Structure 1
Amino acid sequence: MIESLKKYATPFHTIDDLDSLIEAIGDSKFVLLGESSHGTSEFYTIRAEITKRLIQEKGFSFMAVEGDWPACQSINRYIKGFSSSKQEAREVLEDFNRWPTWMWANQEIMELMEWLKQFNLRTNRTEKVGFYGLDVYSLWESLDEIVGYLDKINSPELEIAKKAFACFEPHNRNNESYAVSAGYLSEDCLKEALDLLSAIQRNKWKFDDNQENSLNMEVNALVTAHAEEYYRTMVKSDDESWNIRDRHMVDALESIVKFYGNDAKVIIWEHNTHVGDARATDMKDEGMVNVGQLLREQYGEDEVFIVGFGTYTGTVIASTEWGVNLEVMNVPPAQIGSWEYVMHQSGAMNKFLIFNEQNRKEFSATIGHRAIGVVYHPEYEQFGNYVPSNMGQRYDGFIFVDRTNALHPLVLERVFI
């Protein structure tokens, strides 16, 4: 495999060196850009430069990311200049107040936001480039959005929304409390959440679309229904709750695509574990699916181009346990025999690889592929941070940064909610 990498991988120094990758993307409708951690600066900056080129050169319509819908809507309103948007990018990013805040409230994203805003100001496109969150965690915030908007327009659906809100309210915005109540005691809000989703979908045509209100209400209702299912399921099955989450991401994505029209082209930013086809990993044996797999299955491999990202060593932003303050941690040299190790051994430099019919078989052996989460213990990395993967089938391209640096959060210390 090291010899094959020497043969097929291409060194790069700037975004212009990635011309052949942009060319390989071709006319794909979905471009998925991964990351092997949520706290690496180069993953954000390189993806940002690729995103700019896809928007400018190939007419991509919007970004969709592994973030909460309501908070990402603040970015969307800002870059589109909606009247309800805040005036400063830093102020907008304060809406990302759910741990881990650093994933989106960081300097790298703020710089991309300013570029997107300026592009939208200059463009003559009918529909401006958007920024949307696909994740499922914002149950309470999405309910707030729904109730607030329906109350504002005096909608008949307000009573249905209030009934759903009242069902969830005793749990005091505590996801774990709801999960235990619904998962173990069968005291759930399934009917109320589904009734709300049905009412919103049935009546979304009534909502004013000057600032994407119909889309906002529809996806918030999807979040409410799917988050209810996610939390109800997670106390009994991590694997099934994972599937609920990734299927939700695809459902939310399809709602946005329909809003933009069938010709919409999408850039997706998520962790490698979500974008790299699950069928090419040991996730398949556990019955788990992910976004990359689902999109390939639904739209065909010609319409989907998946790019993984990885590093050999460096620093990263992460935490030692869920909900505590972030740290800058050292990323140790990759485990001997892993994908990142052989990438480094083939030449200690930044490089990219395009998988195609000519070379996929040479990268079909199962190999450990590093995945760093928001909770990370570098000293125990060898016990759980490597996903057995067929790299040639998991991705269509791979970008390797030999030595990386930690992300730049806007606020280093804050109270997390």
Structure 2
Amino acid sequence: MKTSSICLFVLLLLTFSSVFGQKKTLVLGDTLESSISKGEQHTYQVWLESGQFVHITVEQSGIDVAVTAVNPIGEKIVELNAPTGIQATDHVEIEAKTSGNYQLDIYPFESPADSGKYKIQVMELLSPAEYKQRLITERVQHEATIQALQEHLQQNAIPIHHIEAGNDFNDLRLLKKILQDVKIVGLGEATHGTREFFQFKHRLLEFLVTEMDFNAFALESSYAACQPINDYVLYGKGDRAAVLSGQGYIAWDTEEFSEMLDWLRSYNEGLPDAKKVRFYGVDLWNNDLGRKSIIAYLSKHDLNKVSAADSIFQILSKLEPDWPMLLDDSDRKIMIDVLPRLQSLISHLAANKDKYIAASSPLEFDQNLQYIKVMEQWILANTAEISERSKYMAENLMYLVDRSSPDEKFIIWQHNAHIRVDESDGYSKFGYMLRKQYSDQYYAFGFRFNEGSYQTRILNYGEAPGDLKVLTLPPAPVGSLEWYLSRTNIGNMILDFRIPSDNPAVEQFLNTPHQVQIANWGYPMSSNYVDENPKKLYDGIIFIEKTTATRPTAHAREAAEKRKRF
């Protein structure tokens, strides 16, 4: 790598402070590997001249770490603290506005592992003149890419005329051709708290149900606790506000989601059961209703097993409310200890399947066995070195699909991180498993936005969930995927990646990793930028230019004030 004479003369040094007070230096191009454990923070400093640019990578191994950078006057300029995986690499890029020491802090973040390693390396160091020339070159490249992308999207993108449901579907008609052979449509989201995402998903739901005969909806929420929502949309049982709050996730307990449930209930009313839209959850948490169902089932058909099952369930019912922020190592030990007893109960039911079915029905037996299996998944996901929650949610959806009628078609609502179709961090995610199982019958829509607000909740490990908090992001940074899409000036749009572009420059763009914004439900670990290859991860993208935060219901606000639910 070429560097200017000033860069050669002034070696780039990073000073590392360990718990023993040792200091190590890293020269441009060298790699420093270090072990790190929970509770530790490793601090580095790099001296930069005003106008210089430095690119530093932090490669994680066996533990997820967060990285922050602070400028010489103490302002935080980089914060990479969204979960990226225990084998991922964080990229820190700093353009020095002033001369002085820039500090990097590295610490374990949202990882079940107690310790691991990371490698830190200075990949690139540019002098002020070199960096200025880099920016000029990139500007020319950006303009050429934007022009090619704009020409492609003007011919192929579907402009979105309306975000809210209740409008005509004229702008969505082309989706009939795109999704004509699709059995499962995955609707992702870059955040769990964007009002426009929720509203447009509601509109897509109405379109897919009324125009394309989709008749099942599955949510990234409790498998067991979504059953009352299904009873409500099918038969009007219960109170809508109560059943929505009962599923447990505050992220879904919003005015926007409530309006969608009202539409589902209205649509189903008066239809024969075979034509109604069903509502399912696929997540692993909040299993109280499942436990009650199993105890009732065993009380009818296997009274001798009630005591053993109840003793297991009592333990799990005390642990589940602590998920995820208050679960600690002692809780995980209890979960590991109780797991063989739970698996023994599963084996007992499976071995006596014929007897149970003869006394009840195949549907009733399968449902109760699945309730227990979801509890097993919850334990496994929370005690493994790498949580496979996403994989287990896919298994639960596949269970529902396998037991549905041949003409049943599913809409699934999850985060982008789940619906994407690649295998990341060496383990299977939701969308990857669906692609393997259903091939092109699964279509994954990622949702992206340029700028705006979204709802989060203050979450810190070791503490009860805190207040709701609205965050606002400025326009997407130069060179990011969202920035390119915004610069086309098309506005809100739908992109389909399954039909290749005739323009090689566009194909290269779509098959090249770009920075994208990733946000989680929890604050402060909510927002980050990571590299994603759009065409490798998704079949299409729904892009919204400007966003606002979802509007929590009164029940949600009350639960947050009382530090309840998640």
TM-score interval, normalised by the smaller of the two chains: 0.7 to 0.9
Q: Which amino acid aligns with 1:372?
A: A
After TM superposition, list the pairs within 5 Å mapping 1:336-375 onto structure 2: 336-347=478-489, 349-359=491-501, 360-375=507-522
Counterpart of 2:532, as a letter, is S
Higher strand share: 2
Identify which range, 349-358 or 195-204, moves more after superposition.
195-204
The AA in structure 1 aligned to 2:175 is: L
Q: Give the 3-state SS of the residue equivalent to 2:541 in structure 1.
A: strand
Preserved contact between residue 11 and residue 350 of structure 1 (Cα < 8 Å): yes
CA separation of 1:174 and 1:316: change in aligned 2, threshold 3 A: closer
Query: Following TM superposition, by how much is the alpha carbon of 1:157 offset from its aligned partner in structure 2, in angstroms?
Result: 4.6
Q: Secondary structure at the match of 2:403?
A: helix
**Residue 10 of structure 2: aligned partner:** none
Shift in Å, 1:158 = 2.9
**In structure 2, what is the Cα distance between the partners aligned to 1:209 and 1:136?**
25
* Alpha-carbon shift at residue 278 of structure 1 (Å): 2.8
Could you tell me how far apart the structure 1 residues matched to 2:473 and 2:215 are? 35
Q: 1:55 to 1:209 in 2, by over 3 A?
A: farther
* Residue pairs, 1:53-202, within 5 angstroms: 53-81=207-235, 85-86=237-238, 88-96=239-247, 98=248, 100-101=249-250, 103-124=251-272, 126=274, 128-139=276-287, 142-151=290-299, 157-166=305-314, 168=316, 174-175=322-323, 180-181=329-330, 183=332, 187-201=336-350
Task: Specify the code of the residue in structure 1 equivalent to 2:397.
Answer: L
- Offset of 1:304 from its aligned partner? 1.0
Judge conservation of contact 2:217–2:412 (CA < 8 Å) in 1: yes
Distance in 2 between the 1:159 and 1:32 partners? Answer: 41
Identity across matched positions, percent: 26
Distance 1:291 1:123 in 2: 32
SS of structure 2 residue aligned to 1:126: helix
Does the 8 A contact of 1:207 with 1:214 survive in 2? no
Deviation at 1:129, TM superposition (A): 1.5
Query: Relative CO higher for 1 or 2, CA cutoff 8 Å, sep ≥ 6?
Result: 1
Structure 2 residue 456 is matched with structure 1 residue 305: no
Choose which of 13, 23, 36 in structure 1 pairs with 2:161: 13
Is 1:246–2:397 an aligned residue pair?
Answer: no
Output one character per residue of 1:243-286: Cα deviation in whole Å (capped at 9) or x when no partner. Answer: x211211111122123223432111100000001234xxxx3x2
Query: Is it true that 1:403 corresponds to 2:546 in the alignment?
Result: yes
Deviation at 1:120, TM superposition (A): 1.7
Q: 2:431 aligns with which of 292, 296, 302?
A: 292
1:34 correspondence with 2:185 = no
SS at match of 1:319: strand
Instruction: Give the whole-Å Cα distance in 1 for the aligned partners of 2:329 and 2:201.
Output: 38
Distance change (3 Å), C-alpha of 1:392 and 1:104 = same
Q: Output the aligned Cα RMSD.
A: 2.8
Could you report, residue by residue, the CA deviation over 1:100-156 in whole angstroms, capped at 9, with x for unpaired residues? 41x221111111112111222233452632111111122555434422454366656
Distance 1:391 1:73 in 2: 34
Distance 2:529 2:272 in 1: 45
Q: 1:213 to 1:326 in 2, by over 3 A?
A: farther
Q: 1:49 to 1:164 in 2, by over 3 A?
A: same
Contact 1:250 1:294 in 2 (8 A): yes
Alpha-carbon distance change, 132 to 377 in structure 1, aligned in 2, over 3 angstroms: same
Structure 1 CA distance for aligned equivalents of residues 443 and 320 of structure 2:
42
Tell me, yes or no, if the aligned pair for 1:139 and 1:227 is still in contact at 8 Å: no
Partners of 2:319 and 2:216 lie apart in 1 by: 35
Q: Which moved more, 1:184-193 or 1:403-412?
A: 184-193
Query: Taking structure 1 as reference, are residues 79 and 187 closer, same or farther at Cα in structure 2, changes over 3 Å only?
Result: closer
Structure 1 letter corresponding to 2:548 = N
Q: Deviation of residue 295 (structure 1)? A: 0.6
Q: Which has the larger radius of gyration?
A: 2
Structure 2: stretches of 5+ with no match in the other structure: 1-144, 163-168, 502-506
The separation in 1 between residues aligned to 2:433 and 2:523, in whole angstroms, is 28
CA contact (8 A) 2:176 2:212 kept: no
Distance 2:320 2:201 in 1: 38
Measure, in 1, the Cα distance between the counterparts of 2:216 and 2:201.
14
How many angstroms apart in 2 are the aligned matches of 1:163 and 1:32? 38
Equivalent-residue separation in structure 2 for 1:386 and 1:121 (angstroms)? 44
User: Which of 377, 381, 389 is the equivalent residue of 1:226?
Assistant: 377
Structure 1 residue 319: Cα displacement: 2.1
Displacement of 1:291 = 1.0
Matched, 1:266 2:410: yes
| Deviation for aligned residue 1:402 | 0.3
1:287: how far off? 0.8
| TM-score normalised according to structure 2 size | 0.64
Give the counterpart letter for 1:287 in structure 2: G
Give the counterpart letter for 1:90 in structure 2: A
Aligned residue pairs, count: 393
Decide whether the 8 Å contact of 2:419 with 2:430 is kept in 1.
yes
* Cα distance change on mapping 1:317 and 1:167 into 2, 3 Å: closer
Separation in structure 1 between the aligned mates of residue 524 and residue 317 of structure 2, nearest angstrom: 36
By how many angstroms is 1:2 displaced? Answer: 2.5
Alignment counterpart, residue 328 of structure 1, candidates 470, 495, 506: 470
Is 1:205 paired with 2:357? yes
Residue by residue, what CA displacement relative to the aligned partner does 1:264-323 show, whole Å, maximum 9, x if unpaired? 2111100000001234xxxx3x213211111111121x2111111111111111023241
TM superposition score normalised by structure 1: 0.85
- The one-letter code matched in structure 2 to 1:344 is S
